[in-house]
Amino acid sequence: MTIKTLLASASNDPGRDARLDLACDLAAAFHARLLGVGACALEPVPADPFWTGAMTGELLSLYHDMAENDVSEARKGFDTVAAARAIETGWIGMIDHPAAVLNAAARAADLVIVAAPNDSTPFRGPDPVEVITGAGRPVLVVPAAPLASPLGRTAVIAWKDTRESRLAAAAALPLLKKTSRTHVLAVCSEAQAEIVSVQITDVAAWLTRHGVRASPEILLRNEIGTARRLLDRAVALEAGLIVAGAYGHLRLTEWILGGVTQSLLADSSLSLLMAR
């Protein structure tokens, strides 16, 4: 597998330019096409009897103009960042729910790039959780100010012997081949260490057969949370990428992610490649 089409959110959040710079770097590294996406949903009219029919129409018109302006500004930002690069680009701009637009457009992409959770309203930028659980593609979640690029540095796979970890590791192969080394990390108790050592040694050997320099490493569980142990070790290894399965369950109509997944999304200063 390789990466031939990248899909990147160009929503107007504080980390947009850094995210789009990384998207352009990846497009150049893989000789891939980069599709920028700008989407903004109309905010709902307040449920207040004060808003009569005519006033509601005026408010909806105002919201529509604001959404159009937001999409237009997103495109300007995307074009500005991409203009200096010799890469093929495309654009998708819509007034609709941002995550829904990205998820639908993912049918034509190999990798989706979004912002880490931030203070943007759900109408102006995609919720990464909705994209991870709905796109059907691996998702690269980029913090506002990533410590390092995923390209040319070390990478960390946060391993748990599950379907989600296997999907994430397989999806990450193109990126892992662009790194200097990959560390397969697992956090476990001392009682589990022997079997977990066998598991991560198998994963490292599988990666090696795919041309990825890989080594296994166990972190024995202690009073520090699993996510924090993984993040601290990744920084110590000067990694530029963390690969992890996304764990969670559907409660009514909303995906609830597991605690480690939530913590990685909220606290990582490195880009996260996630799949489920």
Domains in the chain, number? 2
Domain that holds residue 179: 154-275
Among candidate residues 109, 127, 139, the one with its CA nearest the CA of residue 35: 109
Residue 201 domain flag: yes
Is residue 36 over pLDDT 60?
yes
Domain boundary among 119, 142, 165: 142
- Residue 253 has a pLDDT of 47
Residue type, 85: R
Q: Band the pLDDT of 252: cuts 50, 70, 90.
A: very low
Cβ 172 vs Cβ 238: under 8 Å: no
Statement to judge: residues 78 and 199 lie in one domain = no
Residue 149, domain member (yes or no) = no
> What token pair was written down for 133?
């659980």
Can you give the CATH number for the domain in which 67 is found?
Answer: 3.40.50.620
The DSSP line for 152-203 is TSEEEEE--SSHHHHHHHHHHHHHHTTSSEEEEEEEE-GGGHHHHHHHHHHH
**pLDDT tens profile 92-149:** 999 999 999 999 999 999 999 999 988 777 788 999 999 999 999 999 999 999 999 9
| One domain, residues 47 and 23 | yes
pLDDT grade, residue 260 (50/70/90)?
Answer: confident
Tell whether 248 and 165 lie within a shared domain.
yes
Residues 163 and 93 in one domain: no
Question: 181 and 118 in one domain?
Answer: no
3-state secondary structure of 33: strand
**Residue of higher predicted confidence among 214 and 47:** 214
Residue range 164-202, pLDDT digits in tens: 999 999 999 999 999 999 999 999 999 999 999 999 999
